[in-house]
């Protein structure tokens, strides 16, 4: 039982990070029907910027408490990612807004490759280690180990998701976003500044991505110019699983994917008598994704595409 609890906790922690990144995919898709493949790289840049700031702070002021150093890193990573996403949208996607849908998709892949290589030039090709500055408290719940960091990751993710939900449902900007998602033309006719709403969507997604990036690098103790790729792929799958374009769906999809992966990798070997090993972790997660899509093509919480259009 304690092993099961532990796997569940493992899955929830990773899942909440997936969910945060998935939000960025789903928000952009909801409004532009564009899959922003560069989003994983924005997460990576967030982690890298934060790590650089942390490194500099630790070098110049070694007496600062660790938590403060990390928060400072995060606070600088967020605006950096916001500026980056704003620029990407303006340069790479806006000129193509009226182009066939395939064009911005290819551009997104291009931006993703450019960002990866830029990061490689700036931060080098090595793994950058996350300095051990965070408190390393551990607790035991139902026989499972949970660290302070894990609790912070889950709580902060949930708060961020709640905040985003409030923003979308309860504010003027949120209403403008929902209106733009429903119909860009009509929203424009009603006086919504669509360009600004789209920019805001990218920027908000990037801020959340920066947070997720710092969490990932703190959790695994490292960052790397390539880390955004797999993370982005998983988060994108999570968004699709939950129903892309749907914010609650991204959260649910992320958490589910994390848990499925953890349970899959943890139990698949024993369940199949060693026939399938834990290297089928990803296969297991994507198999569930396919299964869901077969029965619910628009994802768990997604609306039917026919009704939306």
Partner 1 sequence: MRTKHLLSALFMAGALGLAGCGDKPAEESGAVIRIGSVAPLTGPQTHIGKDNENGARLAVDEINAQGLQLGGKPVKLELLGEDDQAEPKTATIVAQKLVDAGVVAVIGHLNSGTTIPASKIYHDAGIPQISPSATAVAYTAQGYKTAYRVMANDAQQGKALGQFAVVKMAAKKIAIIDDRTAYGQGLADEFEKAAKEAGGEVVAREFTNDKATDFTAILTSIKGKGADLVFFGGMDPQGGPMAQQMKRLGLSARLLGGDGLQNVNFLKLAGADAEGVVASSPGLPIDSMPGGPDFRKKFEAKYGVIQVYAPYAYDAVYALVDAMKRADSAEPAKVLAELPKVDIQGVSGPVKFDAKGDTVGGAVTLYEAKGGAWQVLETMK
Binding-site ranges for partner 1 (CB under 8 A) = 3, 6-7, 10-11, 14, 120, 124-127, 129, 131-132, 138, 140, 145, 147, 220-222, 224, 226-227, 230, 261-267, 269-270, 274, 277-279, 281
Task: Specify the residue, 146 or 241, whose C-beta has the smaller distance to partner 1.
Answer: 146
The least CB distance from residue 132 to partner 1, in Å, is 5
Query: Minimum CB separation from partner 1 for residue 150, in Å?
Result: 8
CB of 308 to partner 1, least distance (A): 35
For partner 1, which is the closer residue by CB, 14 or 57?
14
- Report the DSSP beta bridge partners of residue 140: 145
Query: Taking Cα atoms as reference points, which of 112, 95, 54 lies closest to residue 230?
Result: 112
Cα radius of gyration (the chain): 20
Smallest gap from Cβ 161 to partner 1, in A, equals 21
Instruction: Tell me 94's DSSP state.
Output: G
Task: Give the nearer residue to partner 1 in terms of CB position, either 232 or 302.
Answer: 232
CB closer to partner 1, 95 vs 143: 143
Q: Is there a contact between 73 and 50 (Cβ–Cβ < 8 Å)?
A: yes
Are 34 and 244 in contact by the 8 Å Cβ rule? The answer is: no
Measured N-to-C along each axis, helices 227-242 and 194-220 cross at an angle, to the nearest 10 degrees, of: 120
How far apart CA 157 and CA 33 sit, in angstroms, is 25
Q: Are 231 and 183 in contact (CB under 8 A)?
A: no
**97 DSSP 8-state letter:** T
- With beta carbons less than 8 A apart as the criterion, state whether 96 and 107 touch: yes
Q: How far is the CB of 209 from partner 1 (least distance, A)?
A: 17
Closer Cβ to partner 1, 67 or 162, answer by number: 67
**In whole angstroms, what is the distance from residue 201 CA to residue 85 CA?**
9
Count of Cβ atoms closer than 10 Å to residue 9 Cβ: 21
The residue (of 7 and 180) whose beta carbon lies closer to partner 1 is: 7
Rounded Cα gap, residues 247 and 17, in angstroms: 15
CB of 101 to partner 1, least distance (A): 28
Rank residues 105 and 276 by Cβ distance to partner 1 and give the closer one: 276
Q: Kindly state the smallest distance separating residue 26's Cβ from partner 1, in Å.
A: 22
């Amino acid at each position: 039982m304690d092993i099961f609890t532990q796997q569940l906790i493992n899955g929830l922690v990773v899942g909440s990070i997936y969910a945060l990144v998935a939000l960025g995919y789903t928000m952009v898709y909801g409004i532009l029907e564009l899959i922003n493949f560069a989003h994983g790289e924005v997460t990576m840049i967030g982690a890298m910027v934060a790590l650089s700031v942390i490194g500099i702070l630790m070098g110049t002021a070694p007496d600062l408490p660790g938590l403060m150093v990390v928060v400072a890193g995060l606070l600088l990573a967020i605006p950096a990612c916001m500026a980056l996403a704003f620029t990407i949208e303006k340069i790479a996607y806006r000129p193509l807004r009226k182009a066939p849908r395939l064009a911005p998709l290819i551009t997104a892949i291009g931006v993703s490759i450019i960002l990866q290589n830029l990061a490689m030039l700036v931060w080098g090709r090595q793994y950058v280690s996350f300095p051990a500055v965070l408190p390393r408290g551990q607790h035991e719940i139902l026989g499972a180990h949970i660290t302070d960091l894990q609790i912070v990751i889950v709580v902060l993710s949930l708060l961020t998701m709640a905040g985003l939900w409030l923003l979308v449902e309860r504010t003027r900007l949120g209403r403008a976003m929902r209106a733009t998602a429903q119909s860009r033309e009509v929203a424009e006719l009603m006086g919504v500044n669509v360009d600004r709403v789209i920019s805001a969507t990218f920027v908000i997604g990037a801020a959340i991505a920066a947070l997720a990036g710092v969490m990932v690098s703190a959790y695994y103790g490292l960052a790397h110019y390539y880390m955004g790729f797999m993370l982005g792929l998983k988060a994108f799958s999570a968004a699709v699983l939950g129903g892309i374009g749907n914010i609650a769906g991204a959260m649910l999809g992320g958490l589910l994917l994390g848990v499925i992966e953890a349970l899959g990798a943890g139990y698949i070997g024993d369940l199949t008598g060693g026939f399938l090993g834990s290297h089928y972790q990803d296969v297991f997660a994507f198999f569930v994704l396919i299964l869901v899509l077969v029965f619910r093509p628009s994802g768990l919480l997604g609306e039917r595409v026919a009704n939306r259009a």
